[in-house]
């Protein structure tokens, strides 16, 4: 299940020109608004907590001037971190998100949407940024058990962009599990592009979207399609059945869109940006105490929110971060990956690696722990 260098990736037969205009406005679900007081609760993964493993905050200096180390230095740093913090009876996986291949200077299609930041990255190519991330992951020692990529392989949802992103991920020597992002707006084109993957189930996915589950590191991993999951729809019922089957097994859920606002008003209050039925998904998850992690991307920010015992963790994009897009053209300072340590079937710790920088185990901030339900 997933991708590997040896797996055959079937080429999409659809011509890029056939898909060049996405239904940006019509395809957006209405936003779920709440009290303005939540908008002030910006959350970054910065607060450490005492424990058996080393934790620290990211440097406070602006990333505009932050040192970006060489790939060799960056890989040596994270491998030393793993040597110090990965228990002998544990393993880990890597999470990355939002390549946006075909965006910035690579764009050959009309803009997918207008976040107001496109002009800042118009001359930036996302491909070398993604390739650097993959090169660093390939050099991790020990190697991760697998990699999870949480959506937006492409910038315009075009078959050639998706194909290129899949080929970049296929250079990894470990299985890769992907989710669909909102930029993969054309379901049939996306499903055709990924039909060579081991997780592909054409008949079921054609009805309910790109959702599937896999087992790994003693846990059940459930991949949802944020663009197709509706509270009264077949994917939601499939998800309900997956959770009911967990029993005492830990469940980790991957979905591209954010289930709750992350405290960044330009995204939180933009129509269609937050998952339209996020509250329903959270309510269902809270009925299953062994499912405590929801991991995704989409918002182009590092954020951690809580809803009771549920951890809602977002990772910024490999392309650019909404809070420091102005630095993107100057280097790789906003490239991040999550390392998630699993021990005895449960999450032991989650660390954030700044590629070209440091690695630190993250904890929710005190504000996060004031449940947002």
**Nearest C-alpha neighbor of 345 from the set 221, 262, 243, 165:** 221
Q: Which pLDDT score is estimated for 242?
A: 98
Between CA 320 and CA 314 the distance in angstroms is 14
Q: Among the listed ranges 59-68, 136-145, 162-171, 312-321, which one has the minimum average pLDDT value?
A: 59-68
pLDDT at 14 over 80: no
Q: Say if residue 367's pLDDT is above 90.
A: no
Q: Provide mean pLDDT across the span 168-195.
A: 96
**Is pLDDT of 52 > 50?**
no
Give pLDDT, residue 365. Answer: 64
pLDDT at 325 (0 to 100): 55
pLDDT band of residue 335 (cuts 50, 70, 90) is confident
- Residue 341 and residue 362: Cα distance in Å, rounded? 12
pLDDT band at 66 (very low <50, low <70, confident <90, very high): low
d(CA 66, CA 79): 21
67-362, what's its fold?
Purple Acid Phosphatase; chain A, domain 2 (3.60.21)
Predicted pLDDT of residue 320: 85
How confident is residue 69, by pLDDT bands cut at 50, 70 and 90?
A: confident
User: What is the b/e burial string over 57-68, where b = at least 16 CB atoms within 10 angstroms of the residue's CB?
Assistant: ebeeeebeebeb
Give the pLDDT confidence score for residue 323 in this predicted structure.
67
Dihedral of CA atoms 149, 150, 151, 155 in degrees, nearest 10, equals: -70
The pLDDT tens digits of the residues spanning 112-125 come to 765 566 677 788 88
Lowest mean pLDDT among 29-33, 80-84, 152-156, 221-225: 29-33
């Amino acid at each position: 299940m997933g991708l590997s260098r040896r797996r055959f990736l079937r080429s999409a037969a659809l011509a890029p020109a056939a898909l060049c205009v996405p239904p940006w406005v019509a395809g957006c679900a209405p936003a779920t608004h709440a009290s303005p007081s939540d908008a002030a609760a910006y959350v970054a993964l910065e607060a450490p907590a005492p424990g058996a493993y080393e934790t620290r905050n990211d440097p406070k200096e602006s990333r505009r001037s932050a040192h970006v180390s060489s790939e060799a230095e960056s890989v040596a740093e994270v491998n030393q971190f793993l040597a110090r913090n990965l228990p002998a009876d544990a393993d880990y996986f890597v999470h990355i998100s939002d390549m946006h291949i075909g965006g910035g200077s690579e764009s050959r299609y009309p803009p997918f949407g207008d976040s107001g930041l496109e002009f800042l990255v118009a001359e930036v190519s996302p491909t070398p940024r993604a390739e650097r991330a993959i090169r660093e992951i390939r050099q991790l020692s020990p190697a991760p058990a697998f990699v999870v990529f949480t959506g937006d392989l492409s910038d315009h949802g075009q078959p050639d962009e998706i194909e290129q992103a899949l080929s970049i991920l296929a250079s990894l020597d470990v299985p890769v599990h992907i989710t669909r992002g909102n930029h993969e707006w054309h379901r049939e084109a996306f499903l055709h592009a990924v039909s060579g993957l081991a997780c592909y189930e054409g008949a079921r996915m054609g009805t309910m979207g790109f959702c599937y589950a896999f087992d790994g590191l003693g846990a059940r991993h459930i991949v949802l399609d944020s663009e197709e999951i509706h509270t009264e729809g077949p994917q939601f019922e499939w998800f309900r059945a997956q959770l009911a089957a967990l029993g005492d097994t830990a469940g980790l859920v991957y979905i591209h869109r954010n289930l709750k606002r992350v405290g960044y008003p330009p995204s939180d209050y933009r129509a269609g940006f937050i998952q339209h039925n996020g509250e329903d998904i959270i309510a269902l998850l809270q009925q299953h105490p062994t499912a405590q992690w929801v991991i995704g991307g989409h918002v182009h920010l590092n954020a951690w929110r809580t809803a009771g015992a549920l951890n809602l963790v977002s990772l910024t994009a490999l392309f650019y971060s909404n809070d420091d897009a102005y630095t993107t053209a100057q280097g790789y300072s906003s490239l991040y990956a999550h390392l998630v340590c699993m021990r005895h079937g449960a999450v032991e710790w989650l660390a954030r690696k700044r590629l070209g920088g440091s690695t630190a185990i993250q904890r929710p901030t005190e504000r996060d722990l004031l449940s947002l339900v």
